Amino acid sequence: MAENQRPTSTTARLTIPEYAMALAHVASLRSEDPFRKVGAVAIDFDNRVIGTAYNGLAPGYDADLDFWADRDARRKYMLHAEVNLCSLFTRGNVRLVACTTKPCTSCMQMLCAYGVKEVYFREDYPESEADAIAKRYGIQLIQLANYPQIIQSGEITA
């Protein structure tokens, strides 16, 4: 059975992309951004988690409450989840990245530069040129919106 297919047994096991997406979702919960919470996870060629990351300010920077009030003014200071994630590995060590939102153009370019071969995302980001970049560089860019998620009450949904 291909690793991206669901098992047919009654004890269905998450596929690696589903597992990565669930971890990315959990990572997004750490984001301090009140407008958009994005998480990402990197998986190596042995299906091990290399790291998780989320969007936010540079480590050690503590913004005052007024900083968060103007979304457009603070955008240029936010580090994307993919940027934070790529700081955790070196080129060629990661096979798969899962992000809760489709990478923006710049982040997709960076994932290409790091040699990532598969990128999964949950929510579309229409302003991104990620589709064209992935096609040009032969990277699989796949939307994966249907995976088990933990909801606020702690229940798991399919």
Domain boundaries, the chain: 16-157
Q: Which CATH superfamily is domain 16-157 in?
A: Cytidine Deaminase, domain 2 (3.40.140.10)
> Mean pLDDT throughout 129-147?
94
Q: Output helix, strand, coil percentages for the chain, rounded to the nearest 5.
A: 30, 20, 50
> Mean pLDDT throughout 33-58?
95
- Burial of 70 from C-beta contacts in 10 A (0-12 / 13-18 / 19+): exposed
Check pLDDT > 80 for residue 4. no
What is the structure's pLDDT at 11? Answer: 57
